[in-house]
Amino acid sequence: MAVNGLSGAETQRSGGTSPPGLFANPPIKRLEEAVDHAHMRGKLCRVVAAWLAVFAAFTGFALQAAPAAHADTGADEALFLSLTNATRAAQGLQPLATDGQLTSIARDWSAHMAAAGGISHNPNLQGQVTAAWTQLGENVGEGPTVAMIQDAFMNSVHHRENILNGAYNYVGIGVVDGGGIIFVTVDFMDLPGGAVSAPAPAAPRTTTRAPAAPKATAAPRPRAATPATAPASPPPAPPSTVPPAAAPVAAAPPASHSPAFIQVLAELRELDQ
């Protein structure tokens, strides 16, 4: 006998699932998240590509900032000779032929200047040349390119006089790479009769001096020292058939020249005085 109707109703429920009460929690079903592997691979590729682009840009900047190495000094020597003879031809002067002994002397002196880190004249030039010369001259310089050094020579009075001296008929040119900077020695000779020494061996293609740390105060600039002309040795040779060309007064550099070149040229002209 039921004492309470509510208790009877409760006892009659059997089987099935009881409905959730007021505070009951619904069952939780765990869902498996799908992984998009193609999307992940694409994202990884984009990240790698971005890093590679940054690395390539940095590497390109470093290569651009580094000084260019002059691996083929023989080609630089040939270019100096070509520019010199072209300038002489424009003035109606005979071209200069290369002399093996002069070339070897010039290369040795350029190596000396590169090791010293500065330019100077060879004080033993007259004693080192064994040919029966009547006149010797020398141009020395340093700079980043052949063209810039040659341009500085032509804008310096005494260096221009050596290049346009009609008495000279032989030359020896030595180029050495000193850590990305060209050191050049150009030895001129007046040799009557044209009996010259055998050609010098090919210039080495490797540098002879480890690159020096760049100076923070100024960038390397081309310079040239005042040329040294040796006195004629006895007995004096007959006068040359081609009179020495008078060196015209060096004109002001064109406006296209950089301020650095103009400053270097001013230093050269001061040495010429």
Closest of 75, 70, 96 to residue 209, by C-alpha = 70
Query: Residues 131, 191: contact at Cβ < 8 Å?
Result: yes
- Quote the pLDDT of residue 79: 97
Closest of 256, 271, 243, 257 to residue 156, by C-alpha = 271
Closest of 134, 153, 132, 135 to residue 143, by C-alpha = 153
What are the E-state strand segments in 51-146?
A: 97-98, 135-143
CA distances from 241 to 135, 247, 264 (A): 15, 18, 36
- Quote the pLDDT of residue 200: 58
CA distances from 258 to 3, 55, 140, 208, 273 (A): 117, 33, 22, 30, 23
Per-residue pLDDT of the chain (273 residues; tens, 9 = 90+): 444 444 344 434 444 454 555 555 555 555 555 556 677 777 777 877 777 776 666 555 444 444 445 558 999 999 999 999 999 999 999 999 999 999 999 999 999 999 999 999 999 999 999 999 999 999 999 999 999 999 999 999 999 999 999 999 999 999 999 999 999 999 999 999 876 555 555 555 434 443 433 333 333 445 555 455 555 444 444 444 444 444 444 444 555 677 657 755 665 565 455
Who's near 161: CB < 8 A, 6+ residues apart?
A: 227, 247
- Quote the pLDDT of residue 72: 87
In three-state secondary structure terms, 202 is coil
Which DSSP category does 186 fall into? E
- pTM, two decimal places: 0.59
- Quote the pLDDT of residue 123: 97
